[in-house]
């Protein structure tokens, strides 16, 4: 996948790019949601108002999350090249782009999940405790269960920002719609590419948001 597409027509180029975008966004969303979940749980547990308050763990983890979030993505992309090579065997290409996308998304989604979980009504947690629930049960049956719609909203936010970040993945040969818009539309003055790519991105973001809103309503 990815690479040279100069000989094919516009339709193929754009469809190919769209598939690359979907590919990058899908996997980086999936991995970051899985990997961001654990720190979110730990942050929620150890927060001052959590089930097992622990200032030390909370502050350290919180600091790490902030550090990763404050890196501009394009810098992270470069810094992570050796790590990417270690994980996928190469540093260039669509698959390779998933690594920095995931790494940058983990602290983002961890923070969003943490916020979602901590918005759980403390009274409900107290009620669960009064019935003899263990911390583990409270986490599963109360925190997570009550927060699912909010966390889902967070995932929508994540997907949309990953679509944006994936455009920068063109720098490491990731391809995708954003990359086509820059290379063809901007650098080669092919306005039609720019317009079509933009429209596709707008539609894509709209669809994701609509789907997210629909699910939120259905689940809450």
Choose between 69 and 141: whose C-beta lies nearer to another protein: 141
Do the beta carbons of residue 214 and residue 32 sit within 8 Å?
no
Unique residue bearing structure tokens 């889902």: 152
Judged by CB, which is closer to another protein: 101, or 142?
A: 142
The CB-side HSE value for 55 (13 A sphere, CA atoms) comes to 0
Judged by beta carbon, residue 143 or residue 204, the one nearer another protein is 143
Report residue 92: phi and psi, to 5°: -120, 140
Least distance from another protein to the Cβ atom of residue 78, Å: 43
| 77 vs 155 by CB, closer to another protein | 155
User: What does the binding site for another protein look like in residue numbers (CB under 8 A)?
Assistant: 121, 123-124, 126-134, 137, 141-142, 145-146, 148-149, 219-220
Residue pair 112/154 in contact by the 8 Å Cβ criterion: yes
| Smallest separation (angstroms) from another protein to the CB of 138 | 9
- C-alpha to C-alpha distance for 129 and 148, rounded to whole angstroms: 20
Q: Which is nearer to another protein, 89 or 123 (CB)?
A: 123
Rounded Cα gap, residues 169 and 93, in angstroms: 9
Instruction: Compute the least distance from the CB of residue 39 to another protein, in Å.
Output: 24
Q: What are the backbone angles phi and psi of residue 90, rounded to the nearest 5°?
A: -150, 160
CB of 52 to another protein, least distance (A): 13
Write down the least CB distance from residue 31 to another protein, Å: 27
In the complex, the smallest distance separating the C-beta of residue 216 from another protein, rounded to whole angstroms, is 12
Between residues 126 and 192, which has the closer beta carbon with respect to another protein?
126
Q: H helices within the chain, ranges in order?
A: 10-46, 55-70, 73-79, 81-88, 94-118, 122-130, 135-137, 145-168, 177-180, 191-219
């Amino acid at each position: 996948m990815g690479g040279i597409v100069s000989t094919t027509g516009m339709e193929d180029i754009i469809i190919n790019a769209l598939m690359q975008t979907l590919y990058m966004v899908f996997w980086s969303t999936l991995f970051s949601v899985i990997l961001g979940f654990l720190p979110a749980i730990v942050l929620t547990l150890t927060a001052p108002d959590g089930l097992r308050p622990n200032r030390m763990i909370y502050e350290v983890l919180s600091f790490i999350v902030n550090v990763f979030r404050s890196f501009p993505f394009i810098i992270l992309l470069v810094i992570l090249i050796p790590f990417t090579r270690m994980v996928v065997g190469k540093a260039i290409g669509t698959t390779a782009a998933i690594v920095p996308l995931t790494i940058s998304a983990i602290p983002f989604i961890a923070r969003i999940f943490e916020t979602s979980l901590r918005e759980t009504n403390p009274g409900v947690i107290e009620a669960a405790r009064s019935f003899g629930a263990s911390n583990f049960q409270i986490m599963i049956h109360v925190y997570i269960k009550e927060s699912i719609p909010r966390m889902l909203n967070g995932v929508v936010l994540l997907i949309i920002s990953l679509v944006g970040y994936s455009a920068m993945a063109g720098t490491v040969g990731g391809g995708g719609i954003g990359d086509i818009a820059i290379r063809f539309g901007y650098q080669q003055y092919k306005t039609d590419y720019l317009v079509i790519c933009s429209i596709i991105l707008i539609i894509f973001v709209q669809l994701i948001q609509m789907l997210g809103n629909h699910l939120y309503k259905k689940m809450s």
